[in-house]
Structure 1
């Protein structure tokens, strides 16, 4: 009976904290976070409008959303970074993954140059996107497969080296045992002839 009374007399704050948050509380939290982000945007906008001639440092920190010319993945980057990437890839902006693929293609076939590698990679991405129902999800799945293969390769290399080390250790122990047997002919004679010198049958 005492245990039942203690459960019923527990403070409501303790029992309420164990319950999931109510829908109204979730909506309130969401509204608060939206309001906070809107306030941040207003503060940034008002500070930039109050200074009509911003210095170069403020201009560099502006972020813009750009889409990859090959795979159409959107990223937020600074204007300086976008300009550097466009200068390297004939005016097209490429995400990091496509940029590395184009560089690798250029290394394999340096005679074609940047334009040929870019056209080839764009065609490959276009074919990839056309044959998939959800290209973004397929891209994520492909990246997961690449990461898994890389992990498995490292894991196999590590386990192979551990097995090799184990085999080398066992082989060195066998060699040490063989040397100890071959270096002591009296022990061998005792084993063959017996301790008293008689030959064992």
Structure 2
């Protein structure tokens, strides 16, 4: 009787290639077959998964129908503009200010008033376990 180790057939390791995203420059390790599939979808360009989603988003946000090529150009343009922008002078204060604005908007939301009306209805007056015991005759 052969052992499980002896039955295992070793499969050859697939070749892995490092490829860079056309849009953002992110480097990934992928198989040549996967690279070919991605390039086929994007006019011969390697596009990482994150940029692919951003391109889909560009396409869906456009008020008129645009090509994938146009959506890709818009995304690359946005990425370059973002990359060239300078970081905020004081990122800690900017973050605190943004969180403060978010909290104010949340607290002033009309939804908060609607939730306030529901709270008294959710308060329990008695335990439900006492009723269960009486119903069984205990």
How high is the TM-score relative to the length of structure 1?
Answer: 0.38
Structure 1: where are the runs of 5+ without partners?
A: 1-56, 134-144, 177-201
Correspondences of 1:30-45 after superposition (within 5 Å): none
1:111 has 2:65 as partner:
yes
CA distance in 2, matches of 1:172, 1:94: 51
Equivalent of residue 77 in structure 1, options 3, 18, 30:
30
CA distance in 2, matches of 1:114, 1:172: 51
1:130 has 2:84 as partner:
yes
| Structure with larger RCO (C-alpha < 8 A, sep 6+) | 2
How high is the TM-score relative to the length of structure 2?
Answer: 0.53
Q: CA deviation at 1:98?
A: 0.5
Residues 58 and 121 of structure 1, relative CA distance in 2, 3 Å threshold: farther
Equivalent of residue 86 in structure 1, options 20, 39, 61:
39
Residues 171 and 68 of structure 1, relative CA distance in 2, 3 Å threshold: same
Which position in structure 2 is the counterpart of 1:97? 50
Which position in structure 2 is the counterpart of 1:168? 118
**Which consecutive segments of 4 or more residues in structure 1 shift more than 3 A?**
none
Structure with higher Rg: it is 1
Structure 2: where are the runs of 5+ without partners?
A: 1-10, 88-94, 126-138
CA distance in 2, matches of 1:120, 1:90: 16
CA distance in 2, matches of 1:169, 1:132: 47
Aligned length: 94
Higher helix share: 1
Q: CA deviation at 1:122?
A: 1.1
